[in-house]
Amino acid sequence: MKVLITGGGGFVGSRLTKACLNRGYEVVVVDKSKGELEGYMHPNMKFIETSVEDKNLIKIAAEGCNVAYYSAWSFAEKLMEGFTIDVIGFINFMEACCDAGVRHVLFPSSSVIYGEPIKYPITEDHPLLVERSRAPVHAITKLAVEKIMEIYYRERGIPFTIFRFWWAFSDERIPGGTLRKIIDSAIKGESLNVPRASSGSVLYAQDLIRAFEVATLNERAFGKTYNILSFNITWKEFLETIVELAGSKSSVTEVDPLEWKGSGFLTGKWILDDSKIKTDLGFVPDEASAKRAFIEALKKTIESRRTAL
């Protein structure tokens, strides 16, 4: 099988690329830079250094591909930039996939599309209140891309599958600028604050990869959107774990959410309901393995920050 992966140098895309190559697939990677694939070589991997905005090269990249994974994303903060790169770029990608006869498109979306949780746990039919999102441009462009997939499925017959998740980590690290700041403060022994009762559903990258494998060319997944997670955690528990692993003297204090002045990423209850993917595809995350991997990745991230400081 031949697979097209856009954003293949990124956090999700690079791991999907390696997983596909390990399964014996031929992989065409499209990205502006090699990113996390820098120095990585494989005889079945072709890397095309370009962006999804280049419709001609995207068309060439899609030729002969059976399946396409779209993990390119700009995370633009301005509407014009977000729509120009992410939305128009995605249309270029979909046109190329249609012309090439791609049989299935899969997309890692985000829980940011729910905007502001109004019921718990969050199911896939939760209102998409993108205008209330902490990152409205990110949310509305993700929503636009999801809706574009629905249109192409209905009008051009190209199936899609969407995965929505809150926050993902890998064996190597737990990404995020907010996390780095928290760890830096813990290493320095500074007091740590967090909004009371804030929490979220964490996703292990290996579980995401397994979900892609289970869903790919699976007719039960066609035209479906799935929440996906590995386990749930409160921010208080998370910060206390950082303090323990860092050997820090920092204290962790919960504050009234209405008085919170810190990062918006730490706010709210982002607890996802993943019963749909369990029922439809029989996909069940390995929670125990994910939690062990989370601790090990957190240790590595703490040591990396300690070195940087």
Residue 69 has pLDDT above 90, yes or no: yes
Question: Mean pLDDT over residues 70-99, rounded?
Answer: 96
- Is residue 309's pLDDT more than 90? no
User: Which residue shows structure tokens 């499925």?
Assistant: 153
Residue that the structure tokens 């956090």 belong to: 11
Shared domain check, 179 and 302: yes
Count structural domains, the chain.
Answer: 2
Domain that holds residue 125: 2-167+203-227
Residue type, 14: S
Model pLDDT, residue 12: 96
- CATH number of 67's domain: 3.40.50.720
Can you tell me whether residue 2 is helix, strand or coil? Answer: strand
In a domain, 160, yes or no: yes
With bands split at pLDDT 50, 70 and 90, how would you rate the model's confidence at 244?
very high
pLDDT higher than 90, residue 187: yes
Question: Is 183 part of a structural domain of the chain?
Answer: yes
Q: What is the pLDDT of residues 16-53, one digit of tens each?
A: 999 999 999 999 999 999 999 999 999 999 999 999 99
Residues 102 and 48 in one domain: yes
Summarize the confidence of residues 1-5 as an average pLDDT.
98
Same domain? For 65 and 121 the reply is yes
In a domain? residue 113: yes
Query: Which CATH number goes with the domain that contains 237?
Result: 3.90.25.10
Residues 23 and 149 in one domain: yes
Q: Do residues 207 and 60 both lie within one domain? A: yes
Tens of pLDDT, residues 123-168:
999 999 999 998 999 999 999 999 999 999 999 999 999 999 999 9
pLDDT at 155: 98
Burial annotation 103-136 (CB, 10 A radius, 16+ → b, else e) = bbbbbbbbbbbbbebeeebbebebebebeebebb
- Give yes or no: residues 187 and 110 share one domain: no
The pLDDT, as a whole number, for residue 165 is 98
Residue 256, domain member (yes or no): yes
Residues 41 and 143 in one domain: yes
Asked if the structure places residue 281 within a domain, the reply is: no
282 located within any domain: no
- Whether 163 and 255 map to the same domain: the answer is no
Is the Cβ–Cβ distance between 166 and 229 less than 8 Å? yes
Instruction: Please say if the pLDDT value at position 88 is more than 90.
Output: yes
Q: Are residues 20 and 120 in the same domain?
A: yes
Q: Is residue 275 part of a domain?
A: no
User: What is the reported pLDDT for 272?
Assistant: 98
* 219 and 89 co-located in one domain: yes
Rounded CA gap, 81 and 116, in Å?
A: 23
State the pTM of this model: 0.95
Note whether 8 and 156 are same-domain residues.
yes
Look at residue 40 and tell me if it is in a domain.
yes
pLDDT digits (tens, 9 = 90+) for 264-277: 889 999 999 999 99
Task: State the chain's mean pLDDT as an integer.
Answer: 96
Q: Would you place residue 240 in the very low, low, confident or very high pLDDT band (cuts 50, 70, 90)?
A: very high
Taking the C-alpha atoms of 124, 226, 280 and 289 in order, what is their torsion angle to the nearest 10 degrees? -120
pLDDT of residue 246 exceeding 90: yes
Kindly state whether residues 75 and 219 are assigned to the same domain. yes
